[in-house]
Amino acid sequence: MRDVGAFDALPDDLTDAGSGADSLVRATADEPERAAEAALRPRRLDEFVGQRVVRDQLSLVLEAALGRGRAPDHVLLSGPPGLGKTTLAMIIAAELGTSLRVTSGPAIQHAGDLAAVLSSLEEGEVLFIDEIHRLARPAEELLYVAMEDFRVDVVVGKGAGASAIPLSLPPFTVVGATTRAGLLPAPLRDRFGFTGHLDFYADDELERVLVRSAGLLDVPLDVDAAAEIASRSRGTPRIANRLLRRVRDWAQVRGDGHLHLAAARAALEVYEVDQRGLDRLDRAVLDALCRRFGGGPVGLTTLAVAVGEEPETVETVAEPFLVREGLVGRTPRGRVALAPAWEHLGLTAPAPAGSLFD
């Protein structure tokens, strides 16, 4: 666990599982990359672009808490990675004028680990738990009591002679972030007073993100270049900012330093991000489905072997975007390539042979 200033470099909302060094949009950021991302994060709610409903609701929660002089209700933020869950946790701490403690579900494997974290909190502090759905069960049960009653029971001794000593905690606010809200047990989910779901961004919202980021990076960005980058960013601000920095690199090394449309297209071609935002792994999955397996259905393990990746990588990294774009379908018999996938690859789809979704 770390105690950080509201705008220090923080880990991504969720690690972008990498399929290889050539996969730009989902490569795990190294420390300089993380620092660059942190520098582009908005610092206040009124600077945060997009997510209007969540932003307005969260503003009411925080303003009411400040007016009462009390810690706000616990906050659960859900949604795909890269949409701003970590940034909103930082903003919550900043708006409350308090510090932010940072930890993650995988880092807390025992109830004692969580007890140590909770007992060190000061009044009004914000505890950010990333990937909260991955908390160990004993830690979850301890967190239930801490969130509701602001106390933890410290167990002293072992066996029949063990006893629990209640330890009072100062009021604090838990901000949990998850990409899989359905995995949270109901008792934990019910202890959050406010739940906000972050949706993918529209292209015009991403253009606003890019214009703001270009200003912070002090690089000239044309409107049509911003639109081009936004259209290939998969509805995700984190990806948009990464692509912006790669276009900036191309313009600095091979161009005149100006981020115009031609520079954006040339840079994104170098980094193998096509017009729909698909990268090497995405296209490899589509190519295998269409060319090797005739459009499917094909099992996940077989498909993963065909593209040289682990099944989990294909399922959690490539597949969600391909399904969302209507390129791939999931059926009881396996994955299938839908008509837009054939069209994207410039191939002719075979004649349909009955419904695969029955």
* Residue 288 DSSP class: I
What is the reported pLDDT for 24? 40
Dist. CA 214–CA 153, nearest whole Å: 50
Pairing of strands 151-156, 163-168: antiparallel
Residues 6+ apart with CB under 8 A from 100: 3, 4, 5, 6, 89, 90, 92, 93, 125, 126, 128
Reported residue count of the chain is 358
Known catalytic membership, residue 173: no
Between these two residues, 1 and 88, which has the higher pLDDT value?
88
Known catalytic membership, residue 236: no
User: Could you say which of 13, 130, 279, 282 is catalytic?
Assistant: 130
4: helix, strand or coil: strand
CATH 1.10.8.60 fits 203-270, yes or no: yes
**pLDDT per residue as tens digits for the range 193-223:** 999 999 999 999 999 999 999 998 889 999 9
Residues 6+ apart with CB under 8 A from 197: 54, 77, 78, 79, 181
Between these two residues, 159 and 116, which has the higher pLDDT value?
116
**pLDDT per residue as tens digits for the range 13-69:** 433 333 333 344 444 445 555 666 667 888 888 889 989 999 999 999 999 999 988
CATH 3.40.50.300 fits 2-197, yes or no: yes
Q: 203-270 and 280-344: same fold?
A: no
User: Could you say which of 87, 98, 179, 313 is catalytic?
Assistant: 179
What is the reported pLDDT for 136? 85
Region of residue 79 (left: phi > 0; alpha: psi -120 to 50; beta: else): left
280-344 CATH pick, 3.30.360.10, 3.40.190.10, 3.40.50.720, 1.10.10.10:
1.10.10.10
Known catalytic membership, residue 238: yes
Known catalytic membership, residue 313: no
The percent of residues in the chain predicted with pLDDT above 70, rounded, is 84
**pLDDT per residue as tens digits for the range 231-241:** 999 999 999 99
Dist. CA 60–CA 196, nearest whole Å: 13
User: Could you say which of 26, 85, 234, 335 is catalytic?
Assistant: 85
**Domain range list for the chain:** 2-197, 203-270, 280-344
**pLDDT per residue as tens digits for the range 92-129:** 999 999 889 998 888 888 887 888 888 888 888 999 99
CA angle 251, 255, 259 (to 5 degrees): 45
User: Could you say which of 55, 232, 238, 335 is catalytic?
Assistant: 238
Known catalytic membership, residue 73: no
